[in-house]
């Protein structure tokens, strides 16, 4: 089928060329008459006069370039409907490109390879873009108007799945990095009690960002993106349910495993109580009960300041608070 059509094309082409050739030879006759006294070569079936071998088709003169015939209000999208190389006879602009000759200007557009090499956007003029978008509009859907701000989106749709597509030219269309999926979620959007939250943080480790309260799961172990997405959701589910479970060995949690500092049963409490008891004994000579000491306001303030110092770290305000508390407790 294809061979038939190609033969048909060729025959068509030959006919065309033959037809034009005849016309051109006629016009060439007039040219030749004007310019020189060559005898008219009307009959191209015969070999050349100087006996060069087989008959060659006479060279057609190029016609008038299309730019001469273009009206000012033409439809440019018809001239360049799709991406095409630069045709100097179809673009009515006096473009010059290339390195200028010494003391001259850049070369003109006719026969300019630089203009052909560079990708052109002649098929994507604003008029063409508008036409394309008009045709594409029926396929688009509207964004729900209720979700106009990021905060609302985060509230209703807290799970974000990020993935990347790659488009480039090369021997292969595939890019293995396209399978990587990042799942980001804010832990405040789940219902986790205190124990569950602590356990979740321990399970997750480095994937949690404390400043933004975001858990990021990166899934890249499966070869396809859909598989990685499914695996990330599965991981999230498992983490959530595991963090609600309390295992038997969790009772063996030591002070070193604790995430926050708590003053009860700490060496600081013991030391403070010892000091206070000895102070009381020295002053009044009686044995005070430790529980009563704990209830004193100054001791509570001291407890707050120490807890804050240990949890938040050293800073101006925490040190000041500690100093004030110590002065009050020891009556300095």
Partner 1 sequence: MRAALDLQFSLSFTVPKNMAASVSFRREFCSLARIFSGFSHLGPRAVFACSAHRKCNIIRSHLPVISSSSFHTGTVFLSAPSLITVTEEPDTLLQRVSLLVKGHDQAVLDSYEFFTTMAAKELGININKVYEPPKDMERLTVLKSVHIFKKHRVQYEMRTHYRCIELSHLTGSTAQVFLEYVQRNLPEGLAMEVTKTAMEKVPDHILEPMWKENPAEDGPNDVLLLDMLPLNFPSKAVGGDLQSL
Residue ranges in 149-208 that form contacts with partner 1 under rule CB under 8 A: 150, 153, 156-169, 173-174, 178-179, 189-191, 196
Q: Can you give the length of the chain in residues? A: 332
* Min separation Cβ 195 and partner 1, Å: 11
Rg (CA), the chain: 43
Nearer to partner 1, 129 or 330 (CB): 129
- Of 233, 279, 293, 326, the residue at the interface with partner 1 (CB under 8 A) is 233
Strands 181-186 and 208-209: unpaired
Residues 257-316 that bind partner 1 (CB under 8 A): none
Nearer to partner 1, 25 or 214 (CB): 214
Residue for token digits 């509570």?
Answer: 300
Taking CB under 8 A as the binding criterion, the range among 50-58, 105-113, 219-227, 281-289 that sits at the site for partner 1 is 219-227
> Using CA of residue 300, residue 304, residue 310, residue 315, what is the dihedral sign?
negative
Nearer to partner 1, 10 or 55 (CB): 10
Q: Pattern 13-52, binding to partner 1, x per CB under 8 A?
A: ----------------------------------------
- Distance, in Å, from the CA atom of 68 to the CA atom of 299, rounded to the nearest integer, reads 98
What is the enclosing helix (H) or strand (E) of 217?
strand 214-219
Nearer to partner 1, 10 or 258 (CB): 10
- Of 108, 220, 230, 304, the residue at the interface with partner 1 (CB under 8 A) is 230
Residues 76-115 that bind partner 1 (CB under 8 A): 77-78, 81-84
Taking CB under 8 A as the binding criterion, the range among 15-23, 218-226, 269-277, 315-323 that sits at the site for partner 1 is 218-226
Residue 11 binds to partner 1 (criterion: CB under 8 A) = no
- Distance, in Å, from the CA atom of 268 to the CA atom of 304, rounded to the nearest integer, reads 12
Strand order in the sheet with 181-186: 181-186, 214-219, 208-209
HEC-encoded secondary structure of 204-269: HHHHEECCCCEEEEEECCCCCHHHHHHHHHHHHHHHHHHHHCCCHHHHHCCHHHCCCCCCCCCHHH
């Amino acid at each position: 089928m294809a061979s038939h059509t190609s033969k048909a094309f060729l025959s068509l082409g030959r006919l065309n060329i033959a037809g034009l050739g005849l016309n051109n030879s006629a016009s060439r006759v007039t040219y030749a008459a004007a310019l020189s006294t060559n005898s008219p070569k009307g009959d191209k079936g015969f070999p050349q006069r100087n006996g060069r071998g087989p008959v060659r088709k006479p060279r057609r003169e190029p016609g008038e370039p299309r730019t001469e015939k273009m009206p000012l209000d033409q439809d440019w999208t018809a001239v360049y409907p799709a991406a095409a190389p630069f045709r100097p006879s179809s673009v009515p602009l006096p473009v010059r490109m290339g390195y200028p000759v010494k003391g001259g200007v850049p070369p003109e557009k006719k026969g300019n390879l630089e203009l052909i090499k560079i990708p052109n956007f002649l098929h994507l003029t604003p008029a063409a873009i508008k036409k394309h978008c008009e045709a594409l509009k029926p396929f688009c859907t509207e964004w729900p108007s209720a979700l106009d701000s990021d905060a609302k989106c985060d509230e209703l749709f807290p799970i974000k799945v990020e993935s990347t597509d790659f488009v480039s030219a090369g021997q292969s269309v595939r890019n293995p990095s396209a399978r990587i999926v990042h799942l980001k979620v804010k832990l405040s959007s789940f219902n986790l009690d205190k124990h569950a939250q602590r356990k979740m943080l321990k399970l997750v480790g480095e994937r949690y960002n404390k400043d933004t309260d975001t858990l990021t799961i990166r899934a890249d172990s499966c070869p396809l993106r859909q598989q990685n997405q499914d695996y990330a959701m599965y991981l999230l589910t498992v983490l959530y349910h595991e963090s609600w479970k309390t295992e038997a060995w969790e009772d063996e949690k030591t002070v070193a495993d604790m995430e926050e500092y708590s003053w009860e049963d700490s060496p600081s409490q013991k030391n403070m109580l010892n000091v206070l008891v000895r102070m009381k004994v020295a002053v009044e000579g009686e044995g005070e009960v430790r529980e009563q000491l704990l209830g004193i306001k100054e001791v509570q303030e001291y407890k707050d300041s120490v807890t804050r110092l240990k949890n938040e770290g050293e800073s101006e305000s925490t040190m000041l608070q500690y100093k004030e508390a110590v002065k009050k407790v020891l009556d300095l």
